[in-house]
Structure 1
Amino acid sequence: MTNIKELQKKITAKFVPVNKKHIKDCIKKYESYFLKYERLPHMLSLSKKYDQFEFCMKDIPNGTDTIILIDKNVNMKDENEMGEITITLNYKYFNSSEIFDMLKIPNVGSFQMIGHIIHLNLIPEQYEYKKIYGEVFLMKNKNIKSVIYKTNSVHGIYRTFQFEVIAGIDDLKTVHTENNINYYIDYEKVYWNSKLSAERMKLVTKCFKKGDIIADCTCGAGPLALLAAKMDFKVFANDLNPHAIECIKKSIKKNKKLIVTILCCII
């Protein structure tokens, strides 16, 4: 299996050697010829070490501390002032999709982030690559500690699922921030769908009216109940799942300055 950290790509370009004192004039002169390569700067400092790439060139004039990158296909009258540069992009440069393309494996169709967790939606044809997916998503997302995928569909009266941790730590208790509210979520025991965030906001702002009392009988971890409470509605929240009630109670404590009107009970 390919070591992801060994992935690289070389690109070539022209460069103009510059001293910082003359950068403004050089930018005006060469800006229409800049190398346009996604996520690469137009200018490189010779005293700086770049995390996502290295570069190599020859014949740098004395007094040069900066180089301007020029498209190699551009023809200019003063090309004798230019040199050639090779830039080697390393694995840190590439995003997840680009890495999957380089490895010639199918891209992940969709995923959602819940606190420190990424939940990948994989199809059976992708299962053989699950460890690669896990490694890449963990590597490319600094705040992520666990990468999972579900091994069966949502089931049971609590709408939970079985999962497999494919990278990172086996810890699905997390704090997820949505609409400036911190939600405590035990993702192994409570259903959560981040993709419904906009719908929840629309419901609270467009459908609920001032003075309404909200009864959320299937509150889950409280995505709608806590949002409504934040918007100054009086909210009664309930759920069959006792773990959901524990989650929403912990969330209320985390947001006590914003949310004070929620009553949780199990019937």
Structure 2
Amino acid sequence: MNFKVIKTLADILKESSHLLYRFDRKSLKIDDRPLSKFRYIYSRMLEEMSESVAKDLTPPLAVRGMTQLQREAFVKSVKVPGFKVPKKEIGNSQKAWKPLVLKLPGLKPVAELSDNDPHKDSHSLILLDPEKLTTGSLSQQQVEMLERLGLNTKKPDKFEVKLGYENWSVADVIRAVLPSEVENVTSFTQVGHIAHLNLKPETLPYKELIGEVILDKIPSVKTVVNKLNMIDNTYRNFSMELLAGEDNFITQTKEHNCVFELDFSKVYWNSRLSTEHQRITELVPKESVVYDVFAGVGPFAIPLAKKKCCIVYANDLNPASHASLVNNVKLNNIKTGHIIDSNLDGKDFILTVIREDLEKRLKQQIDSSVLTQKSDSTDVTDVPNGETNSQSEDSTQKPTQGHKQSTQAVNPSFVIMNLPAMAVEFLCNFRGILKNCSLLENNETALRSVLPHVYCYAFSPKRDMDTELRKRVMEALDCPLPSDFNVRLVRNVAPNKEMMCISFKLWPELVLDVQESAKRNNEDEIVDFDEPIGKRQKLVKESDLL
């Protein structure tokens, strides 16, 4: 403990000379303010000690500023604490020392002693992490066991160890090379054999070195690339430059027991959306109908068809993404007919594929209702005089198998719109999508049952993100949102940029284009669309008369 720390502790005690004082003449109350200050100073002291110890276990300062990788320049000799243990006692004693061993890539913590050591044949050298010894986290039992083995925990013996490039991690090497004022490169995305970085301008002079280090240190990586621009083109992929390794961008990756093969240079793939893919897969009920407007290579479509037996209409405008989607259907052994693929613009997909399937499902639901009504009517008609209808005598009698099938509820449906930069702009295509459908007269209940639930992804600023996104969606739909809409955060994209998901169920007024626009209403209005259309229209007319 240095003089500065001792003086600070003395000042703290001087400030509060009354550590104990009487309270209510019966009990003593402790003034714990100096104790809190003491704990803070002590923790800072331990942190400073750990930092000074850790400096010995970092690459040499001479590598700072290096732009061309020179592996031999990373050689360094350091002294680390250790002790000798008889070889026959290593197994029985490891409970005491194993949590304290020095862990560095390519370094064995249980080492052979040097040739000139008299105990070379009978003992082994246990190398310890100096930081773990100085944190004060050792239990009394550990201290006693280590001291019995000959280790002085307060002043351990030091042994010289030679470290090299192979003993430093990716983060250690890059941190040592970059200037101290430049933020370290601590993470990257791996897709199959490809490591993908998004380097900041200040790290670009070191990009080739960074690529080589990642290639050296991570055996599964064969190609290292750096992103060159934002994802702002038609096909949602970005330009990239090869930093190190093979010029091969066709790769395979696994996500939630599904296999995806793709050309990383031509399609969009983001491993950081893995949790969101799983969330939606778990949320959607089995055997649902799903319309994936911007399906990409199938991160939503494939697991929904494979795990939930959904019928998925999967679309993407990018020909490379569509080709990968078709291939991934085969790779994952998806049953025939469970993924219906298309290569259309999102607007065309909504106005043709989704519209046609909604009309087909609506007709099936209406026909099912008609069959149910006919089945019910046969139970009370054509009964001969003097005879009694058995159905009327026992109203609790179970329907026949055919009757049960005719009244079966329609499978739920969902629209997934995962194009955060532009998806909101496509919502307008749902307005009036069924206004020309000839099946809608007196069939509002059937219509409500087939309308899908929408999951629309969007980017939003960190501040007022819920309000900002809701406003944009209402402007796109040109009407208020239903009361049961939901907005949630998916992930942070940048310091002031969030990826959000807004979800709501389509409603009859929207798809029939009969609701007044948001421009003529309060733009913050939220309407309960569970009220039947006719009743709401009647109320509006009555209010107009007032």
1 CA distance for matches of 2:120 and 2:247?
Answer: 55
Q: 2:164 corresponds to which residue?
A: 90
1 CA distance for matches of 2:198 and 2:94?
Answer: 46
Q: 2:491 corresponds to which residue?
A: none
The structure 1 residue matched to 2:110, chosen from 17, 34, 44, is: 44
Alignment check: 8 A CA contact 1:34 1:68 kept: no
2 CA distance for matches of 1:71 and 1:157?
Answer: 53
2 CA distance for matches of 1:131 and 1:137?
Answer: 10
The 5-angstrom pairing of residues 1-150 of structure 1 reads 1-27=68-94, 31=96, 35-39=100-104, 43-46=109-112, 58-61=116-119, 63-64=121-122, 66-69=124-127, 78=150, 84-105=158-179, 106=182, 107-108=184-185, 110-150=187-227
Flag the structure with higher strand content: 1
Alignment check: 8 A CA contact 1:108 1:121 kept: no
Counterpart of 1:7 in structure 2: which amino acid? F
Counterpart of 2:126 in structure 1: which amino acid? I
2 CA distance for matches of 1:154 and 1:22?
Answer: 60
Flag the structure with higher helix content: 2
2 CA distance for matches of 1:70 and 1:188?
Answer: 46
Alignment check: 8 A CA contact 2:316 2:322 kept: yes
Q: CA deviation at 1:79?
A: 6.6
User: Mean Cα displacement is larger for which, 239-248 or 92-101?
Assistant: 92-101
- When residues 84 and 161 of structure 1 are mapped into structure 2, their CA distance, relative to the original with a 3 A threshold, is closer
2 CA distance for matches of 1:60 and 1:6?
Answer: 33
Q: Would you say 1:210 and 2:277 are equivalent positions?
A: no
Q: CA deviation at 1:87?
A: 1.6
Q: CA deviation at 1:24?
A: 3.8
Structure 2: tracts of 5 or more residues without a match: 1-67, 135-145, 345-546
Residues 76-106 of structure 1, C-alpha deviations (whole Å, 9 max, x = no match): 68579x9752122222222111111222344
Q: Would you say 1:222 and 2:298 are equivalent positions?
A: yes
Q: 1:162 corresponds to which residue?
A: 239
Structure 1: tracts of 5 or more residues without a match: 47-54
Counterpart of 2:294 in structure 1: which amino acid? T
2 CA distance for matches of 1:60 and 1:230?
Answer: 65
1 CA distance for matches of 2:88 and 2:147?
Answer: 23
Q: CA deviation at 1:5?
A: 4.9
The 5-angstrom pairing of residues 190-201 of structure 1 reads 190-201=267-278
Q: 2:461 corresponds to which residue?
A: none
Alignment check: 8 A CA contact 2:69 2:212 kept: no
Q: CA deviation at 1:39?
A: 3.8
Q: What is the total number of aligned residue pairs between the two structures?
A: 254
2 CA distance for matches of 1:58 and 1:221?
Answer: 63
Q: 1:151 corresponds to which residue?
A: 228
1 CA distance for matches of 2:175 and 2:222?
Answer: 24
2 CA distance for matches of 1:188 and 1:182?
Answer: 18
Q: 1:238 corresponds to which residue?
A: 315
Q: 2:332 corresponds to which residue?
A: 255
Residues 3-46 of structure 1, C-alpha deviations (whole Å, 9 max, x = no match): 13541343323544444323245446xx2697543448885253
- When residues 157 and 34 of structure 1 are mapped into structure 2, their CA distance, relative to the original with a 3 A threshold, is closer
- When residues 5 and 187 of structure 1 are mapped into structure 2, their CA distance, relative to the original with a 3 A threshold, is farther
Alignment check: 8 A CA contact 2:251 2:263 kept: yes
SS of structure 1 residue aligned to 2:209: helix
- Please provide the CA RMSD for this pair: 3.1
2 CA distance for matches of 1:89 and 1:116?
Answer: 29
Q: CA deviation at 1:228?
A: 1.0
Q: CA deviation at 1:195?
A: 0.6
What TM-score do you get using the length of structure 1 for normalisation? 0.82
What TM-score do you get using the length of structure 2 for normalisation? 0.42
2 CA distance for matches of 1:213 and 1:142?
Answer: 42
Q: CA deviation at 1:58?
A: 4.2
2 CA distance for matches of 1:32 and 1:23?
Answer: 10
Alignment check: 8 A CA contact 2:297 2:321 kept: yes
Alignment check: 8 A CA contact 2:193 2:251 kept: yes
2 CA distance for matches of 1:146 and 1:86?
Answer: 37
2 CA distance for matches of 1:146 and 1:222?
Answer: 23
- When residues 37 and 70 of structure 1 are mapped into structure 2, their CA distance, relative to the original with a 3 A threshold, is closer
2 CA distance for matches of 1:138 and 1:64?
Answer: 40
Residues 198-232 of structure 1, C-alpha deviations (whole Å, 9 max, x = no match): 011111212x1233111112111111111211222
Alignment check: 8 A CA contact 1:56 1:87 kept: no
2 CA distance for matches of 1:19 and 1:76?
Answer: 14
